[in-house]
Amino acid sequence: MEQRTRAPFKSKAYAKRFERLDWGPDLRERKTITDYLASALRTAIYDGQFADNEELNQVELAQHFNVSRVPIREALRQLQAEGLVQNIAHHRTIVSGMTTSQIVEAIEMRAVLESYLLQKAAIRFTKEDVDRLRQICKETDKIKDYGPRWVVKNWEFHRALYARSESPTIISAVERIHLNIERYARRTGSGKRLHEAANEHRRILRAIEKSNFSRAADLLQEHIRHTGEAVRRQREQPNFTAESALPRPRRGRIASR
C-alpha cells in the first residue's frame, strides 16, 4: 500500500494557522484526504489558531491544502458534528465559539464524571498506581510555564487517576470534553493557576495515599470546578472580549474553483 503524502501547500492564506500543526505519524497515516483534513483542522482549532466565529472559506481552504472542495466539505461536516464548527446552509461555516455557560457546563460534566471515575477506580488501586501518580506530580513540577507540555502532563495525571476504572468509554468521553474546552481554559492559565493546580493534584494524591477515596473524589471535583470558575471570572470581567471574529468581516475575493 502506497504511503500517501500530501502535496506541498499552494496558498499561503492559512499558512500561519497550520504551521504549528504536528505532522507526526498520526496525521500522516490517515488513509484519506478527508481524514487528514479533519485532523488538521481539529488540531488547529483545539490549538486556538482560529478565533471564535471566524469564517472558514471552502475555496481558501481547498487552495491552501491543494485539494478540491469535496474533502474539505466532508471534513467540515465531521467537525460540525463534533461541535467545533457551525454551518449555516448556503451561507458559511464558522468556528463555533462556546458561550461561557456552555464551557462551564462542560466543565461541570467533567467534574461529575471524573469524580465518579475516580471512585470507581480507587478500590482497585495498587501501590504501583499510586507511585505512578507521585511520579507524574514530580514531573509536572518541572514544567514552569503554561503550554502544551503542561497540558499533556496535567491530563496524564487525570488519566492515571482513572486507569483502574475499567471504563474506557467514559474515559474517552471525558477526554473529548477536555480537548473541547482546553482552548478556553488555556486563556485563563496564568502561572498562579499552574501552581494552584499542582497543589490540588498533590492534595488529591495525599487523600488517595490515606485511602480516603471519597475525599479524593470531592477534592477532584473541586479541582475541576476551579477551572470553570476561572473561566467564568475572566469572562465576566467587563472589559473581557473573547478573541472572536467580527460577525461579517468583508469577504475577500477568491477565484472560484
Partner DNA sequence: CAGGGACGAACTGTATACAGTTTATTTTCT
Partner DNA sequence: AGAAAATAAACTGTATACAGTTCGTCCCTG
- Grid cell in block for residue 232: 467564568
From 101, 126, 135, 199, residue interacting with its own copies (rule: CB under 8 A) = 101
What track of x and - describes contact with DNA for positions 29 through 48 (by CB under 7 A)? ---xxx--------------
Residue 56, interface with its own copies (CB under 8 A)?
no
Residue 255, interface with its own copies (CB under 8 A)?
no
Residue 89, interface with DNA (CB under 7 A)?
yes
Kindly indicate which of the ranges 73-81, 126-134, 180-188, 190-198 contains the residues binding its own copies, using the contact rule CB under 8 A. Answer: 73-81
What track of x and - describes contact with its own copies for positions 105 through 124 (by CB under 8 A)? xx-xx--xx--x--------
What DSSP line would sit under 127-188, residue for residue? HHHHHHHHHHHHHHHH--S-SHHHHHHHHHHHHHHHGGG--HHHHHHHHHHHHHHHHHHHHH
Task: Tell me the CB-side half-sphere exposure of residue 60, using CA atoms within 13 A.
Answer: 14
Residue 251, interface with DNA (CB under 7 A)?
yes
From 39, 49, 78, 93, residue interacting with DNA (rule: CB under 7 A) = 93
From 3, 169, 239, 241, residue interacting with its own copies (rule: CB under 8 A) = 169
Kindly indicate which of the ranges 43-51, 136-144, 168-176, 191-199 contains the residues binding its own copies, using the contact rule CB under 8 A. Answer: 168-176
Site for its own copies in 29-48 (CB under 8 A): 31-32, 34-35
Helix (H) or strand (E) run with residue 55 in it: strand 55-56
The CB-of-148 to DNA minimum distance in angstroms stands at 28
Instruction: Looking at the chain, list the stretches that DSSP marks H as alpha helix, in order from N- to C-terminal side.
Output: 15-18, 25-28, 33-46, 58-65, 69-82, 100-122, 127-142, 148-162, 168-188, 191-209, 213-236
